[in-house]
Amino acid sequence: MDKFIIKGGRRLMGEVTISGAKNAVVAIIPAVILADSPCVLENIPEISDVSISLRILYEMGAKVENLGGGTYRIDATGIKEPVVPYELARHMRASYYFLGTLLGKFGRARVAMPGGCYLGDRPIDQHLKAFSCLGAECSLENGMVDIHADMLTGAQIYFDKITVGGTINAILAAVRAVGMTVIENAAKEPHIVDLANFLNSMGANIMGAGTDVIKIRGVRSLKGTNYAIIPDQIEAGTYMVAAAATRGNVLVKNVIPKHLESITAKLLKIGVNVEEFDESVRISVDGPLVKTSIKTMPHPGFPTDMQPQFSTLLCLAEGTSIVTEDIFNNRFRYVDELRRMGADISVEGRVAVIEGVGRLMGAPVTAPDLRAGAALVIAGLAATGITEIDDIYHIERGYENIEQKLRALGADIERRSVPGTTARKRPVQA
């Protein structure tokens, strides 16, 4: 298993280019199954969640061609069996998007229940509610979610809780249902808009993605298309925070500034300079960073996927900051690791109280999940001394070439294999 070795205390300087959005691509790759001819997808990031998604398609009978430069040609017309077994599905929570797409295409699906609960409870009751509204029978046996419908009929779906995954699965199942589906209390994340744009380019009829009411008029068939994935707003936010934490000066390129609004607002609030351009933002810091309070919310609120990274930055701000994690009930597992680096954080339920400390000190730490791992990289970059980060396979799920991108910004980071260990392929979340 590999680890990162970071020698901290160097300012990040220069330019970094953001890759395609993980949470868009893990929904769009399964959605290719809905097409009756091949699709070409561009700006696909080289991350392990993508490799797992493509492998699932391949094992199910799709033809997957890597055309190079982040472009893939996928012909899923060869898929006949709508089943995703545990040994494939367990590696990635987003494998549950195969439920919606296989139901939408074949009228039935058997997919292993997503594993683990690294961020706390992660039920899928709202996904199943959406499928039932459309006329499907859902059951759970031997860890497999089994759904089938004689006919999928457009319906009114009201989500009891705003859910990104539930909204995506409802869209995937409804695009070929007979009649109109109206999804209310829908999630509004940029990757939901990207999925809707992708499906509409295949001939779907989806209106209102990005608002809390999404209307879908079912169509009989969808054709293959060429599509480029949007840039990853969480990867962008992570580099913005890393630049601020090292008091550097970084131009973050290939972004959609509107997708970064809540992150930019909070950075400005604590004293970070953020200059916005059409497709990039520049981060720099002149004076001291000051405290703030943050509450994670569904988009366009402050994203939960930026909470660990921003909390790390607040360790270096003057004063007492309050961070409330309102989406997941166990997303502070990185705090123990930060404490080893000198952070002064106390956690009570969903609230972390962060006392700003002058600096962090390098230490051996372990990444508990994807975004917590990114937070520990930021801590290591800002800390004095050496930080070793174990279990970096979590980080590789969502950050393309992270060590190369950081080295290009002047960071002293290297990857080292730990002899005699193999990656613990535990079921992972996200």
Q: Does the annotation count 117 as an active-site position?
A: yes
**Strand order from edge to edge, sheet including 272-276:** 13-17, 249-253, 280-285, 272-276
Minimum CB–partner distance for residue 10 and ligand EPZ (Å): 26
Q: Is 6 in the site for ligand EPZ (CB under 6 A)?
A: no
Q: Does 302 bind ligand EPZ (CB under 6 A)?
A: no
- Does position 348 interact with ligand EPZ (CB under 6 A)? The reply is no
The answer to whether 280 contacts ligand EPZ (rule: CB under 6 A) is no
Residue 335 tokens, joined:
């705090």
Query: b/e map of 140-153 (b: 16 or more CB within 10 Å)?
Result: eeeebbbbbbeebb
| Under 8 Å between Cβ of 12 and 283 | no
Q: Does 262 bind ligand EPZ (CB under 6 A)?
A: no
Residue 81 Cα distances to 3, 31, 89, 222, 229, angstroms: 39, 16, 15, 19, 27
**In angstroms, what is the minimal distance from the CB of 78 to ligand EPZ?**
26
Provide the 10 A C-beta neighbour count for residue 37: 13
Which residue of 45, 166, 231, 373 would you call a contact of ligand EPZ, by CB under 6 A? 166
In the bound state with ligand EPZ, the residue whose beta carbon lies nearer, of 166 and 362, is: 166
Cβ-based nearer residue to ligand EPZ, 75 or 305 = 305
Residue 163 as a binder of ligand EPZ (CB under 6 A): the answer is yes
* Position 337 contacts ligand EPZ (CB under 6 A): no
CB of 190 to ligand EPZ, least distance (A): 11
158 near ligand EPZ, judged by CB under 6 A: no
- Interface of this chain with ligand EPZ, residues 179 to 198, rule: CB under 6 A: 187
Task: Kindly tell me which of 45 and 166 has the beta carbon lying closer to ligand EPZ.
Answer: 166
Distance CA(88)–CA(239), nearest Å, equals 31
Determine, following the binding rule CB under 6 A, whether residue 101 of this chain makes contact with ligand EPZ: no
Which DSSP string corresponds to 140-193?
A: EETTEEEEE-SS-B--EEE-SS--HHHHHHHHHHHTTSBSEEEEES----HHHH
Residue 370 binds ligand EPZ (CB under 6 A): yes
Name which of 317 and 379 has its Cβ closer to ligand EPZ: 379
CA atoms in the 13 A half-sphere facing the CB of 23: 20
292 belongs to the binding site for ligand EPZ (CB under 6 A): no
Residue 216 exposure: Cα atoms within 13 Å on the Cβ side: 37
Q: Which residue from 18, 74, 270, 430 is in contact with ligand EPZ, where contact means CB under 6 A?
A: 430
Binding-site size for ligand EPZ (CB under 6 A) equals: 26
Which of these ranges, 61-69, 78-86, 120-128, 409-417, lies near ligand EPZ under the rule CB under 6 A? Answer: 120-128
Residue 91 makes contact with ligand EPZ by CB under 6 A: no
Catalytic residue among 39, 117, 133, 138: 117
Least Cα distance to 18 among 194, 237, 306 occurs for 237
For 426, which DSSP code?
-
Between residues 109 and 124, which has the closer beta carbon with respect to ligand EPZ? 124
Of 294, 379, 275, nearest in space to 335 by CA: 379
Using rule CB under 6 A, residue 231 touches ligand EPZ: no
Residue 325, CA distances (Å) to 120, 167, 262, 305, 333 in order = 11, 21, 15, 10, 12
| 204/191 Cα distance (integer angstroms) | 17
- Residue 235 has phi, psi (to 5 degrees) of -60, -45
Instruction: Classify the phi-psi angles of 91: left when phi > 0, otherwise alpha if psi is within -120 to 50, otherwise beta.
Output: alpha
The stretch near ligand EPZ (CB under 6 A) out of 9-17, 122-130, 199-207, 264-272 is 122-130
Examine residue 26 and tell whether it contacts ligand EPZ (CB under 6 A): yes
Binding segment for ligand EPZ (CB under 6 A), chosen from 22-30, 170-178, 192-200, 343-351, is 22-30
Three-class secondary structure of residue 261 per DSSP: helix
Nearer to ligand EPZ, 187 or 402 (CB): 187
Assess 209 for contact with ligand EPZ (CB under 6 A): no
Beta bridge partners of 181: 216
Q: Which of 43, 304, 307, 366 binds ligand EPZ (CB under 6 A)?
A: 304
Query: Site for ligand EPZ (CB under 6 A): which residue of 164, 229, 251, 270?
Result: 164
Sign, Cα dihedral of 321, 322, 327, 331? positive
Q: Is residue 359 left, alpha or beta, with left meaning phi > 0 and alpha meaning psi from -120 to 50?
A: beta
Residues that bind ligand EPZ (CB under 6 A): 22-23, 26, 93-94, 121-127, 161, 163-166, 187, 304-305, 327-328, 370-371, 398, 430
**Which residues are marked as active site?**
117
